[in-house]
Amino acid sequence: MGMDRSDVHHAADTGEDHPHPKHELGYYAKRIYAIRDLLIEKGVLTQDDIQRQIDYQEARSPANGAQLVARAWVDPAFKKRLIDDPKATCAEMGIDATSINEFVVLENTERVRHLVVCTLCSCYPRPILGRPPDWYKSLNYRSRAVNDPRGVMREFGQELPDDVEVRVHDSTADMRYLVLPLRPRGTEGMSEKELATLVTRDSMIGVVDPLAPQ
């Protein structure tokens, strides 16, 4: 059975997943709203406290990862630091990755591609990529990424030659991964900012290569 692609293309570059209106939320989500209202009523939190946290969460997006990748493409010394000490190198770019226990950057090559999955739930490097897409959390992806990674990549439009090895990495609560994709050919004259526009969330999970330059 193939993956449901309806959510694969939704906000592919931004990673956005639109929340349902409050009246459509389930039992546990409604309890969260009720607890929030109670905490505000009791003076434990203020609406401004909550809004600041929401703003912080929303600021975490695939754009953070794209900046890291683009800088690594143009600066070999930065790429080495990113691979050797990802969290410290994130801090250089103003990205706070301290909430991640262990953080590993996986560099793609012409002979090896890396693909990230979380088989138990949906562990994901949120400070770097924002919220995980729905398909990443689905049982379909979590099982098929391990058993048929090439088939999954094919459904995302990535067809690899037989001599390219695909390595699957299982993310956990303690270990998070970021794929450093190959720089697309024909981008030699592009600026770092322009290169960042080619880096998609999906390429940093590993299901596809970055976009080709127009």
Q: Which amino acid type is present at position 152?
A: V
Which member of 90, 123, 171, 203 is catalytic? 123
The question of whether 90 is a catalytic residue gets the answer: no
* Nearest partner of 125 among 66, 205, 202, 16, judged by Cα: 205
* 3-class secondary structure, 68: helix
Q: From the CB of residue 77, how many other CB atoms can be counted at a distance below 10 Å? A: 8
Which structure tokens are listed for 150? 């090439």
The question of whether 118 is a catalytic residue gets the answer: yes
Which member of 61, 118, 171, 203 is catalytic? 118
- In whole angstroms, what is the distance from residue 59 CA to residue 80 CA? 26
Tell the residue number behind the tokens 């790429």, with chain if given: 79
Which member of 6, 90, 99, 121 is catalytic? 121
Instruction: Please state at what angle helix 76-84 crosses helix 62-74, rounded to 10 degrees.
Output: 130
Which member of 6, 61, 90, 122 is catalytic? 122
| Catalytic positions, written as ranges | 118, 121-123
